Every structure is written in structure tokens, then in C-alpha cells.
Amino acid sequence: MTALLEGVELVKRFPDARKGRGGHVAVDSVSIDVAPGTTVAVVGESGAGKSTLGRLLLRLTEPDSGIVRFDGVDLSKINRKQLRSLRRRMQMIFQDPFSSLDPRRSVGSAVEEAIKVHLDLTREERRSVVSRLFADVGLENSQLSRYPHEFSGGQLQRVAIARALAVEPDALICDEPVAALDVSIRAQIINLLGRLQGERGFAMMFISHDMALVRYIADEVVVMRSGRIVERGATDDVFESPESDYTKELLSAIPVPDPRARHIIRDQPAGPTDLNEATKP
């Protein structure tokens, strides 16, 4: 399947006095691609370069070298106006919804503002879209006028998802979107993302350190360590026959109810039932 979002040999360094002139290499010659309707999970420990890679792909951070293509367009060769028109088709969901939403603006107006910037709709049409989006993510119309501090973390992440989807993107990058949430709420958000992707067909890059969630949501897994890719492949292949010692370490760290059963963790698929059970009261 043809890639929608593609990074080729991406490199990003950040200044670091301890490392001399070369600085800290956050992303080191990484190539990755995501096709429409599929989910590629990028996993690894903190500092592996996962979030930097996501920001490079959306050109929120400029690479030192390498190429980013979206729908065949080299993003380094287009101007600000052209990039802005593509922004509608590329959206990001951040780990902390509290910091990604303006505390002075109601959540309804925050979602409507995204539509106002990118789509030519009347005020009535925008409000109709916002109302439908809130229903899609499991929120009530009565909550549109509330402010971020009036919501729980799980509810606010639903608002963030609604805002990202408001402009009908073709690609969604989720940067640890459930890391700060309780286990049962994580399951609800993951199920929600999976359902919306099935309905809308967007490409998704899911950044996480939670291997159990990754097995459930991803079609392909990319394992990063110290800015480099150490393993990649179909999700079942990576979980059942990992090649990298580092991947094996990540898999061995997946919590299991009985530590004596750790050696059979790869024989137990983390299918939809596992997460659906977690959402039960």
C-alpha cells in the first residue's frame, strides 16, 4: 500500500554542552512510513526519539537532514501558505490534554476554532460539526460551554481527539495519548481511536512505551532506541519472534498477573476483549 506519510533518513540534533559540537542526536537516520487506514506504533524507552520523530513528520520541528513527504509532496520544498493548507490533513494528539488546550477558552469554542481556521463553513455549520464530533467521542452537548478545568483527564483527551478530527485529517500522530490516564480510561480512549479510524480511514502513528496497548492497536511496530530503529515489522511478528535483544527486554517488561507465566506472554494475544473488559464498571 502506498505511504501517505513518509520520513526518509531523518536526522535531528539538539545542542548539548556535555556532548560537544555534535550535540545530542535525538533522531539518527530514521526512515518510516504510514499508509492510509493503518496504524504504525513507535515504541521505546523515554529519550528514544519517538516524540521528536513525530514532530519532524508534521514539520513542527525542522530536521537537520532527510526528507518528509505527505501524499507525495516533499514538505521541505513548499512555502508557509502551502504547508498551512496541508496542516488540515495532518493532526497531532499530545500526551497532556490540559497543556494542549487554552484554559481561558471553552472546549466547544476550541474545537470550533480549528474548523474556522481550516474549513470554509458558516457559524451554524461549524457548531453542527462540533456537536456531531462531541457525540462521536462520547461527550454531551451540554459540555460544550465548559472549560478544561471542569473535565477529567479522560474527558479532556476526548476533547483533544474531537479537535484533531474536526478538520477531517488524513493522518493522525498520537504522542503517548493515554500515558497519563487510568487503566480503564486508557482502554476507552484506545477503543475510541480504533473505532474512529475504522469509520474515517485515517493513517495513524501511535507513539507509546506501553507494549500491551501497542499489540492491540497497531498493524506494524517500530522499535526505537537512542534515536535509531532497532527493529520493525508486523505486530504479531515482533511480539512472537522478536529479533532485537532490546525488543525482547521491552516485551519481558509487560506486566502479567502471574510472574511465573511471563514466559508465555507472547502466546497470549492482546485482542479487543482485553481492553473491552477493562472498560466494564
Edge-first strand listing for the sheet containing 65-70: 24-34, 5-14, 65-70, 73-74
Say yes or no to pLDDT of 40 above 50: yes
Say yes or no to pLDDT of 170 above 80: yes
DSSP for 99-163, written as a single string = HHS-TTS-HHHHHHHHHHHHS---HHHHHHHHHHHHHHTT--GGGTT--GGGS-HHHHHHHHHHH
Q: What grid cell was written down for 160?
A: 483533544
Q: Which of 62-71, 115-124, 134-143, 271-280 has the lowest mean pLDDT?
A: 271-280
Read off the pLDDT band of 17 (50, 70, 90). Answer: low
pLDDT tens for residues 82-122? 888 888 899 999 888 888 888 999 999 999 988 888 888 89
* 3-class secondary structure, 199: helix
Read off the pLDDT band of 254 (50, 70, 90). Answer: confident
The residue type of 68 is V
Read off the pLDDT band of 48 (50, 70, 90). Answer: very high
Task: Output the average pLDDT for the chain.
Answer: 86
The owner of cell 554542552 is 17
Q: Which of 90-104, 191-205, 225-239, 260-274 has the lowest mean pLDDT?
A: 260-274
Rounded to the nearest 5 degrees, what angle is found at the Cα of 189, between the Cα atoms of 141 and 46? 135
- For the segment(s) 5-89+169-278, the CATH number from 3.40.50.300, 3.30.2350.10, 1.10.287.610, 2.60.120.380 is 3.40.50.300
- The pLDDT assigned to 263 comes to 46
Q: Phi, psi at residue 31, to the nearest 5°?
A: -120, 135
- The pLDDT assigned to 257 comes to 57
Read off the pLDDT band of 256 (50, 70, 90). Answer: low
Q: Which of 34-48, 84-98, 219-233, 248-262 has the lowest mean pLDDT?
A: 248-262
- The pLDDT assigned to 71 comes to 94
Q: How many helices, marked H, and strands, marked E, lie in the chain? A: 11, 10
CB 135 within 8 A of CB 143: no
